[in-house]
Structure 1
Amino acid sequence: MCVTQLLWTTVLPAQAQGVPAAQTPAVSVTPGFPIASDARLAGDSRQTRFVLDLDKAVPFRAFLLSEPYRVVVDLPQVSFHLPAGAGTSGRGLVKAFRYGMVMPGGSRIVFDLTGPARIANSSVLDAANGQPPRLVLELEEVDEATFARAIGTDNRPTLKPSLADSSPSAALAAASPNPLAVRPPPTTPAGAPAAPNAPADTRPVVVIDPGHGGIDYGTQGGEIPEKNLVLAFGQALRDRLERAGKFRVVMTRDDDTFIPLGDRVRIAQKQGAALFVSIHADALPRGEGDAQGATIYTLSDKASDVEAERLAEAENRADLIGGVNLTEEPADVADILIDLARRETRTFSNRF
C-alpha cells in the first residue's frame, strides 16, 4: 500500500487535470474501438442539445463541475474522427467543448458552459431510420441554487453494460450515489427547532483521497484493479479515524467515480483540511515476488523550475497561496512566494 500524504498549509503542486487542453486531432482508426464521426449542438441559451454520432452504442456517464461551469462525459476509449474545428465554437449554453483520450481504455468530453445548467436528459440511441447510434445530452438553464444541488449527480444511460466495475470490490463503490460527496452535516427537518448555540466542530479535518476511480482503473493486481483496492482501504481508514472521534473525515470520492486531480485538491481546500492523504497501491510484475508494507511520499524536495513555473502560471494560482492573489505579481516574485510556501508545506509533511 503506497500512501502519499501532505499537511495542508498554503500550497500544493500543480496537478494535471487529465483532460486534453484542446480537442484531439484526427488519428488512425484503432481496431476494436468505437468511432465518433460527427458532433453537433442545437438549441438556445435556455435549452441546448449535444449529439455525438458513433458507429456503435457505448456506455457513458455525465456529471457537472463548478468553478468554472462544466459538464463532463466519461466513456470508453473512442477514436475521434470529428470534423476539423469541432468544439472550438459553441451554441446556446455551451461555449466550447474539448475531447480526447484521458488514458488507455477511457475517453472524455468536457463542455465549458456559459452559466449554470443541469443535465435534463442523457441517453444512447440505437441506430434507426438511417441514423447511426447517437449519444445525446440535453442541457437546461437553471439558477445557482439548482446547479449547486445538481453538482455531483451521476447521470447514467440505461444501456448495458455500464461503466461500473463488476468485480466484488465494486459493491463497496455503490454505497454513495454522489461522486463529490463530502459527507455534509444532516439538515434540520422542516418545522423542527434548530439546536440553540450548537458548538462549532473545531476538530481537524482529514481528507482521504482514494486514487483513480471510474474510467481510471490504476494498476492491476490479480483480478483486483487499484481503484477498488484503494477505495476499500480509504473507507476502512475513514471508519477507523471516525471511531477515534478526534477528527472530522472527508472523502474525495466514496464510490467508483473519476475525479480530476485538481478537483480533489479543491475539495480539500474548501474543507480547510489540516491533512490530505492520497492513497495508491503498487503492483509487482508477475514472477518478481511479493511485497508488503507502506511507502509514504511527501512533497518532493527536487521539484523542477519548470514545475514551479507551471504552477505560477496556473489559472487558479490565487487559491494556492492561502488566498493571496499572485496574478498581478511579477513572475519572479510569484515564484519566490510559491517556493517559500512549498518549503513550509514540505517541512510540515516531513514532521508529520
Structure 2
Amino acid sequence: MVTKPYLKPAAVIDRESENLRFTYRGRAYTFPVSLTKPVELATMAMDGRTPLPEIALNSLLGTDELQELVTELSATPLLLDGEQEVLADGGLSGREAYWRLEGQMWDWRGLGQRTDIRPVTPLDVEVGAGRAPIDVVKGFCLEICHQVSNAPREISLAIANAPTKAARDLYMEFYEEEHPHGDMLREALAHWLPETGIDAAVPLPQTLGLLNTYNWWAQSDPLLYAVALMRDEGSGLDATPAPETDVYEAMRTHYDVPKEVTERFHWHATLDADLDHGSFPLDVFSTVPVIEPLRYAALTKAARGIVELYDALMNGVLEYYSANSAESRWSQVTTQAMAR
C-alpha cells in the first residue's frame, strides 16, 4: 500500500476538465472524480515525501476520499511509491532525478502543442500529409541510418567510461541488443539507394552535431548519455502517432517506397517500445544513489539540448531534402575514397 504517493512530474493535470484528467507521454487518463480544489491540492502534494494523513489535512480532502484517489491513480503508470523513488532527507536520488527530467523533456518536446497527443515536428506533418517531396523521405531514412549506425561507437564509449560495474553491465547488455541495427537498416535502405552512396553519404550538419554530442556525453558522464536515450528510446507508455502524422504510414500510402525499407525502418522505430527500452535510462539512473545539484543542473541542460538537437535534425531534413536530392549527400570523390 502506498503511504507516500509520488505523482510523476510528467503527469500534467488538465484544469479545464470537469473530472480529474491527466496527460502523460501523449496519453490522457481520466478518473471518475470531480476536479475540486481539494483534489487538485492533494495531487500537488504527492511528492513522495508527504504521508497520506498530512496530504488529507492540508488539502481538506477526506481520508477515505484520498485513499480512493490514491488507489485509482496507483492502477495507472502515473503514481509511484515515494518510499522507493525519493530520499527522505530531501536529497535527490537517481530515480527521482530521472522522473524530474522526464517531466522537463516532455514539456519541451510538446511546447505549444496539445499534451494529450504525441508531439510532432513539421516533418511529421508534411510527410504524413504526403506534401513533402520523395527525397525528404529518402533523406529521413538516410539520416536515421547514420544515427543508428553510430550507436555501437557511443555505447562503447559509455561502457569504457562507466564509473561502476552496475552501469557498465547495463550498457554492455544494451550494446548487444543495439549493435547490429545500423547494418540492418543499411541493408534495407540498399533496396532504394545504392550501397556505395549510403556508405559515402555525408551526414547533414544537424546529424553530425547530434552524433558528436552523443559521443561526447557517453565519454563524459553515462547519465548524460542516458538523458539522450530518454529522447531516443520509445516506451510502451507513449501515445501512438496519429495516422495523419505517421511517417511510416505515409511511406506506405503516399510514397513509392520499397516494402523492405518501410518494414525495416518501422520495425526499428517501434522496437524500443516492444522491448521496453524506454526503461533502460531509468535503470542507469537507478545505479546512482544520490545526484549532486551541479550534476543535476548539467543533466537538465542536456535534456533540453537533446530535444532541440533532435528537432533541429528533423527540421534540417525537411529543409535540405525539400530542395536537394538524397544523392547530393555523396560525390564521386567520397565514393572513390570509400572504395579504397
**Could you say which TM-score interval applies, normalised by the shorter chain?**
under 0.3
Scaled by the length of structure 2, what TM-score is found?
0.24
From the two aligned structures, give the one with the greater strand fraction: 1
- The normalised TM-score by structure 1 is 0.24
